Chain A
């Protein structure tokens, strides 16, 4: 029988906000990474009307082995402006103040979907309130024009997740490249020194602690401001097994290292996900 350590338990919070958030997303036909990734934090987040919208459709052109988002390389839909207007509507109706916009990876599009990200940010700015936006982008195959497009649309946070340590890229995200991902963050900061950059990695995929420390150094060299580290959990039968459940104290150690490395903010804990914490938005 499947057993999880005591610190990896969530509670079902099936309240009114949860039902409202989920109902609206479903009514509008929107995608969220919360649902596509089968995130165990969904009750915590939806019950306070926090969600991370997934744009550019629901199918990803890559097939990373940690991820439950469906992969498809043919008959993909073109970026749909309607999708963005629906997100705007959801944000208004739910009175969301801070939002993370992420996407599937669209290697089939010339711009990787960067213009759609930029359009999204511009449309959401039109909600009129002081909405804070984090753009959590794919690597755009390292395309500088695409990165520039998103940066110049001025999200409050520009985010790109490394996901794992370089040694495990071939196993975890074979179609990605560690140095390319570092470059994405570095280039964004070079374009706009005032933009806040952020990255996240998963622990428990078989990496050594020192490798995580070394990733922190690489991120700091790219002038990355914020890091998140959480426990990898296997989202589906086809995905990689968890190699190790790290104890909460190990994540505290990562926080110490992140502080030493000079990150402005760092969030490390078993259930920490890229967009799990509200504190990130506080100055």
Chain B
């Protein structure tokens, strides 16, 4: 089980808003799949998953503001 955490999207930008989940809970994820789209003030970023597994739980919803390092989802 692993947590997918929000990486720093641009230097000194310490939070971002969840725009869109490309997968839903229970979906099979392959390493490198872009799993969620996040938006900063400046641009939108797709965040890839670093491992393969099942998207067990989505921890933050579309519209939520998330801090860098905060867990977005649990992959199992």
Contacts and interface: CB of A to CB of B under 8 A. Distances in A.
Interface of A: 1-4, 8-14, 34-36, 38-40, 42, 233-237
Q: What 4 pairs across the A-B complex have the smallest Cβ distances?
A: A35-B11, A40-B43, A38-B10, A4-B44
B42 A1 contact: no
Interface in B12-71: 12-13, 17, 19, 34, 37, 39-48, 50, 62-63
Nearest to A4: B44
A231 to B, nearest CB: 9
Contact of B12 (A4, A8, A10, A38): A38
A2 B17 contact: yes
Output the residue of B11, B17, B48, B63 with the most chain A CB within 10 A. Answer: B11
Given A2-B41, A4-B43, A235-B41, A11 B11 contact: no
Interface of B: 7, 9-13, 17, 19, 34, 37, 39-48, 50, 62-63
B46 A38 contact: no
Contacts of B43: 4, 8-10, 40, 233
A1 B19 contact: yes
Majority SS at the chain A contact face: loop
Contact of A234 (B34, B37, B42): B42
A34 B9 CA distance: 12
B11 A34 contact: yes
B48 A12 contact: yes
A236 B11 CA distance: 11
Given A12-B7, A36-B11, A38-B12, A234 B41 contact: yes
Given A11-B34, A12-B47, A12-B48, A40 B42 contact: yes
A36 B39 CA distance: 19
Nearest to A235: B42
Contacts of B44: 4, 8-10
Contacts of B10: 38-40, 42
A233 B37 contact: no
A9 B11 contact: no
B63 to A, nearest CB: 5
B43 to A, nearest CB: 4
A234 B46 CA distance: 19
A9 B37 contact: yes
A10 B10 CA distance: 11
A2 B41 CA distance: 8
Nearest to B47: A12
B21 to A, nearest CB: 14
Contacts of A12: 7, 9, 45-48
7 contacts: A1-B17, A8-B44, A9-B46, A12-B45, A12-B48, A38-B42, A40-B43
B41 A42 contact: no
Contact of A1 (B7, B34, B45, B63): B63
B31 to A, nearest CB: 12
A218 B10 CA distance: 34
A215 B10 CA distance: 31
A20 to B, nearest CB: 16
Contacts of B62: 1
Output the residue of A10, A39, A234, A236 with the most chain B CB within 10 A. Answer: A10
A11 B43 CA distance: 11
A236 B42 CA distance: 7
